[in-house]
């Protein structure tokens, strides 16, 4: 679908030139000859891109007012400001107000078309990102029946009405960002931005620029994550990776609720809910002097802890089924079943839920769920180490019968217990034993708490 460009200029000759130029380039157009017409067109339907003359029929800054009006409706719409009375202050002010570009009359046609092309690409890219984010929100859920996942879901539900800061801890790939996104979806801030900044990906200087923004020597502004997340939620991922100097600045922002951009002189007030996350042991980082304890207490108003997947193995069969259905739907493949989950349940999962999802996607792409033997081979090849001992036939044959049987029973019962989250009653029913008999057998085999 061709992009629609709204042209706003009180000069009929300029409107005609712009209209012909943009139509020839393959875009659709709408026209407005004055301030009131422009308001009607904007309110009737927000355009993909707007080209606005600064001075219309009501005053010298009509165009800036219309720019602000558009940005209130949709901050992602690129606005190109044109003017026949341009000066440096006007250009700077329009860019500060959120203009995509500023161009002076008489303008070079090729230059203007280049601005329009880049503006359309920018708008399409932002829409694509929004669609991907929307798909992410509605595609990946917090799946599982373990007490840990049930507790996290309950916390998310309670946090919907809260504005408190949240600290999420858990190993890499366990779903910390997913938890943060679910909090966002259920909060009063869900119609405002959700911004992520990753402490592990930036050096100290870059991090402050990404967080605070920068006022450049040419008068333009690079907005930081704090301003981008205004009214919404900012997720500071892997916050323990941030340099101590930057940690001090974050602490000061939390205390004062304001900050200055890099090279800036004016305070900017903050209305952002902060969620922090880490895959490291936070108390150890504090003890080792890598993270400020006072900052942690400011961030850790509410703590959410995600256990590694190996400690909530009862979630694995459910996650497997969920990912199969989800991925098959994306690839338009008929859903299938992995009949032997023992390898998956017993694996240590160093990459946690992310590693499991990647494995299911690999299986789906390579087998389309049609070859059980190939599925099992891919699982065996992918899972190169297991979370508990595996006894091959040759190893088992080296044991006396009684010891070999005990080893098999122990491994078998541990596997079944993991499937049912350590629930003795469910495990006993599945393996065909009385609950009391299973208790005695586990005690005899030396099987203790699996957690």
Domain 310-382 -> CATH class: mainly alpha
Q: What is the pLDDT of residue 386?
A: 45
Q: What are the residue ranges in the chain where pLDDT is below 70?
A: 1, 86-88, 128-140, 204, 218-220, 384-404, 448-451
**pLDDT tens-digit profile of 19-34?**
999 999 999 999 999 9
Q: What is the pLDDT of residue 394?
A: 47
Q: What is the pLDDT of residue 403?
A: 64
**pLDDT tens-digit profile of 299-346?**
999 999 999 998 999 999 999 999 999 889 888 899 999 988 888 988
Q: What is the pLDDT of residue 390?
A: 46
Q: What is the pLDDT of residue 437?
A: 80
Q: What is the pLDDT of residue 92?
A: 74
Q: How far apart are the first and last CA of the chain?
A: 55
Is residue 148 exposed (0-12), middle (13-18) or buried (19+ Cβ within 10 Å)?
buried
Q: What is the pLDDT of residue 28?
A: 93
Q: List Cβ neighbours of 291 (8 Å cut-off, separation of 6 or more).
A: 239, 240, 247, 282, 285
Q: Among 323, 322, 317, 350, which residue's Cα sits nearest to residue 416? A: 317
CA 126 to chain centre: 15
Query: What's the DSSP call for residue 29?
Result: E
Long-range CB contact pairs, 9-17, < 8 A, 24+? 9/33, 9/51, 9/52, 9/53, 9/56, 9/82, 10/34, 10/53, 10/55, 10/56, 10/57, 11/53, 14/53, 14/82, 14/105
Q: Where are the domains of the chain?
A: 4-131, 149-307, 310-382, 393-445
Q: What is the pLDDT of residue 140?
A: 57
CATH architecture for the domain at 149-307: 3-Layer(aba) Sandwich (3.40)
Helix axes 352-367, 316-331, angle to 10 degrees: 50
Longest CA span, the chain: 99
Q: What is the pLDDT of residue 393?
A: 46
Show the DSSP H helices in 60-108 as ranges.
62-73, 88-96
| Residue reference for tokens 């004016």 | 266
| Residue reference for tokens 């006993």 | 428
Q: Token pair for residue 158?
A: 């309670």
Superfamily of domain 393-445: Homeodomain-like (1.10.10.60)
149 neighbors 155 (Cβ within 8 angstroms) = no
d(CA 361, CA 224): 35
- Is-same-fold flag (149-307; 310-382)? no
Q: What is the pLDDT of residue 199?
A: 83
- Strands (E) located in 16-174: 28-32, 49-53, 79-83, 101-104, 166-169
Q: What is the pLDDT of residue 269?
A: 87
276 neighbors 236 (Cβ within 8 angstroms) = yes
Q: Give me the CATH topology for the region 4-131.
A: Rossmann fold (3.40.50)
């Amino acid at each position: 679908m061709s992009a629609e460009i709204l042209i706003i200029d009180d000069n009929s000759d300029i409107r005609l030139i712009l209209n012909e130029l943009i139509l020839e380039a393959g875009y659709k157009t709408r026209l407005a000859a004055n301030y009131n017409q422009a308001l009607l067109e904007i309110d009737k339907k927000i355009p993909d891109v707007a080209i606005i003359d600064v001075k219309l029929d009501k005053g010298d800054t009509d165009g800036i007012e219309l720019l602000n009006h558009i940005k209130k409706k949709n901050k992602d719409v690129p606005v190109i400001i044109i003017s026949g009375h341009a000066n440096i202050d006007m250009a700077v002010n329009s860019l500060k107000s959120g203009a995509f570009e500023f161009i002076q009359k008489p303008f070079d046609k090729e230059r203007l078309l280049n601005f329009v092309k880049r503006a359309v690409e920018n708008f399409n890219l932002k829409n694509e990102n929004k669609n991907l984010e929307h798909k992410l929100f509605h595609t990946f859920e917090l799946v599982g029946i373990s007490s840990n996942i049930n507790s996290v879901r309950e916390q998310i539900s309670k946090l919907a009405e809260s504005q408190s800061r949240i600290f999420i801890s858990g190993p890499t790939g366990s779903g910390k960002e997913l938890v943060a996104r679910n909090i966002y979806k259920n909060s009063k801030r869900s119609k405002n931005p959700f911004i992520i900044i990753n402490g592990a990906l930036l050096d100290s200087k870059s991090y402050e620029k990404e967080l605070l923004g920068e006022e450049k020597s040419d008068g333009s502004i690079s907005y930081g994550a704090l301003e981008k997340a205004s009214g919404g939620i900012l997720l500071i991922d892997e916050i323990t990776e941030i340099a101590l100097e930057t940690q001090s600045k974050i602490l000061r922002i939390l205390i004062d609720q304001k900050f200055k951009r890099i090279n800036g002189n004016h305070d900017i007030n903050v209305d952002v809910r902060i969620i922090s996350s880490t895959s490291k042991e936070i108390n150890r980082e504090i003890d080792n002097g890598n993270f400020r304890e006072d900052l942690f207490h400011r961030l850790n108003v509410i703590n959410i802890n995600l256990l590694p997947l190996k400690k909530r193995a009862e979630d694995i069969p459910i996650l497997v089924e969920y990912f199969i259905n989800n991925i098959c739907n994306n690839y338009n493949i008929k859903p299938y079943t992995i009949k032997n989950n023992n390898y998956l349940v017993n694996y240590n999962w160093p990459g946690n839920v992310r590693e499991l999802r990647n494995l299911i996607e690999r299986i789906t792409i390579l087998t389309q769920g049609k070859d059980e033997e190939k599925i099992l081979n891919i699982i065996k090849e992918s899972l190169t180490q297991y979370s508990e001992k595996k006894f091959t036939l040759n190893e088992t044959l080296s044991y006396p019968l009684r010891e070999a049987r005990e080893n098999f029973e122990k491994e078998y019962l541990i596997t079944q217990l993991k499937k049912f989250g350590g629930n003795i009653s469910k495990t006993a029913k599945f393996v065909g034993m009385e609950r009391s008999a299973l208790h005695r057998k586990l005690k005899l085999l030396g099987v203790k708490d699996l957690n």
